[in-house]
Copies of this chain bind each other. A is one copy, B any other.
Amino acid sequence: MSDVQECYRELLAIAKRLSVIRSAGGILQWDLETKMPPRGIRQRAEELALLDVLAHQTIADSKVGKLLDRLTGERAQASMDEVQKRNVHLMKKAYDEEAALPEELVEAISKQSAITVDQWKKAKAARDFGPYRQELDRMFQLRKESAAILRDAKGAGSDYDALLDIFEPGMPADRISAVFSEMRDGLRAIIDRAASSGTRPDLSIMSRRVPVEMQREISRAAMSFIGYQTEGEDAGGRLDETEHPFSLGYYDDVRITTHYYEDRFMSSLFSVLHEGGHALYEQALPREWIYQPVGSSCSYGIHESQSRFVENMVGRSPEFLSHMLPRLRTLSGNALDGVSERDFVLAVNAVVPSKIRIEADEVTYGLHIIIRFELERDIMAGRLSVDELPQAWNDKYREYLGVEIEHDSEGVMQDTHWAGGSLGYFPSYALGNLYGGMFLRKMERDVPEWRDAVSRGEYAPVRTWLAENVHSKGNMYDPADLVKVVTGRSLEVEPFISYLDAKIGAIYGY
């Protein structure tokens, strides 16, 4: 028995090393995006690649295989509690995935990722897909190579399924496809009802000019509202500015970024709420599980459920907007002069098909994701080449959203994900919406007064509910199981669509 406990302790020490290597890599990645002198990119690629190799060597070590053999045996399992069993299970999944990949491939992917992201930035700024094309193609080839290996190792149904399983365990393409199909019909119905309601939001409100310095104040107000602390000796976060907002970190050091546009002042507010939602999740993981596999977030989809919950379900609620409007009037100079609360809430929740995912409204957003899901499934299946990709992108935007893409920077180059080698990640965003819909329905029952609290400027009831019901679970369950544990029900599309239909219906008056 003590032998099992010793193996388990050894396994946890390896898990800790892995977690610390990844945290260190996270800081280097953050630095690359926010502070690094431009010439440093090649050296940074070497550093990130080495940390990836070290992480790979740590988890793919044959010693880990032996420890896992010992710890997954029947007698060993019988002697462990649920947390221990989950830690062993998660280490085994990581080992199976990593041990299959040759070290050279891991290193090549890491280096290519840093180079392709760098090239993406330049190409996006220059609105020229040309010089980016080749690096993206290299990235895709390497990712395909790794996906084929993972498919065999996991017995996944397809290369793409093998990648999806990294981000959303137990959610293959066929299941996502079915769920997305139901979601698409639901979203289209809402878009149609809004369009035929006769109500026309005054979108010009959203493009009134607010100087960046004022927007920085608005960001501070938003962070203060949700309790994400970036100042003082007790701060565990910080806000920086990048082309593409992101959040990164773990427990006591979780950082977010935003982007300020003078003519889209609400964009930074919502990105701060979104990234803040991610950050609060990481910061509220159970402290006693730090550096253990269970002491991490559940899945990318669950992570997105948290960011989108804060951004949309709270941030775009009439109650939050009503609370913030007086502050915003003060903090935005005269940008909101003469704007009624009703017009403001309507403009924020306007349903308008558009070109840029991260600027999309809550209803049409899902359609952006479905486009990416379909494209990357085709890429992975070899049905779509990098050369054909920009046109395929533009065609789908015309078909699904009725918009014309004019150049690739507002088209296929708008996102960093593929440049970074993240294929299979996008579906998580829309799954996050669906999980969030289910969590919201449950929270409405548990804390019916939450909307009143938010309208008074109190976020604590929501924060507490999310921390107790979602964050405190760490990575104890796969996403589908977590949803079941929290809500008592299996994954459903209906709660999200109902929530959205009710909100948009009330605002548009249909």
List residues of chain A with CB under 8 Å of any chain B CB: 17, 20-21, 23-24, 27-28, 31, 35-40, 42-44, 46-47, 50-51, 54, 230, 232-238, 250-253, 255, 291
Contact = CB atoms under 8 A, between A and B. Distances in A.
Pairs of residues from A and B, 9 with the lowest C-beta to C-beta distance, nearest first: A40-B253, A39-B236, A39-B252, A24-B47, A37-B235, A20-B50, A38-B233, A37-B236, A20-B46
Contacts of A233: 38
Nearest to A19: B46
Contact of A253 (B20, B27, B43, B237): B43
A255 B31 CA distance: 12
Given A24-B28, A27-B27, 20 more contacts: A20-B43, A20-B46, A20-B50, A23-B46, A24-B24, A24-B51, A27-B28, A27-B47, A28-B28, A36-B253, A37-B230, A37-B252, A38-B233, A38-B236, A39-B235, A39-B252, A39-B253, A43-B251, A43-B252, A44-B253
A50 B21 contact: yes
9 contacts: A23-B43, A23-B47, A24-B28, A28-B28, A37-B237, A38-B234, A38-B235, A39-B252, A43-B252
Contacts of A232: 38
Contacts of A51: 24
Nearest to A48: B24
Contacts of A40: 236, 252-253
A35 B35 contact: yes
A28 to B, nearest CB: 6
A237 B40 CA distance: 9
A234 B40 CA distance: 9
Contacts of A235: 37-39
Nearest to A234: B39
Contacts of A39: 234-236, 252-253
A250 B20 contact: no
A40 B44 CA distance: 22
A509 to B, nearest CB: 45
A24 B50 contact: yes
A340 B300 CA distance: 65
Nearest to A34: B35
Most-contacted residue by chain B among A37, A38, A47, A236 (CB, 10 A): A37
Most-contacted residue by chain B among A40, A50, A54, A251 (CB, 10 A): A40
Contact of A31 (B31, B43, B230, B237): B31
Nearest to A235: B37
Nearest to A30: B31
Given A20-B50, A51-B24, A37 B251 contact: no
Nearest to A250: B43
A336 B229 CA distance: 42
A247 to B, nearest CB: 13
Nearest to A25: B24
Contacts of A44: 253
A253 B43 CA distance: 8
Nearest to A23: B47
Contacts of A252: 37, 39-40, 42-43
Contacts of A42: 252
Contact of A238 (B20, B37, B54, B230): B37
A337 B468 CA distance: 64
A255 B236 CA distance: 24
Contacts of A234: 38-39
Most-contacted residue by chain B among A27, A230, A291 (CB, 10 A): A27
A52 to B, nearest CB: 12
A238 to B, nearest CB: 5
Contacts of A24: 24, 28, 47, 50-51
Contacts of A38: 232-236
A232 B233 CA distance: 33
A31 B35 CA distance: 10
A235 B36 CA distance: 9
A7 to B, nearest CB: 21
A44 B255 CA distance: 14
A233 B31 CA distance: 16
Contacts of A253: 36-37, 39-40, 43-44
A24 B22 CA distance: 12
A163 to B, nearest CB: 27
A51 B23 CA distance: 12
A16 to B, nearest CB: 8
Contact of A17 (B50, B238, B251): B50
Contacts of A230: 37
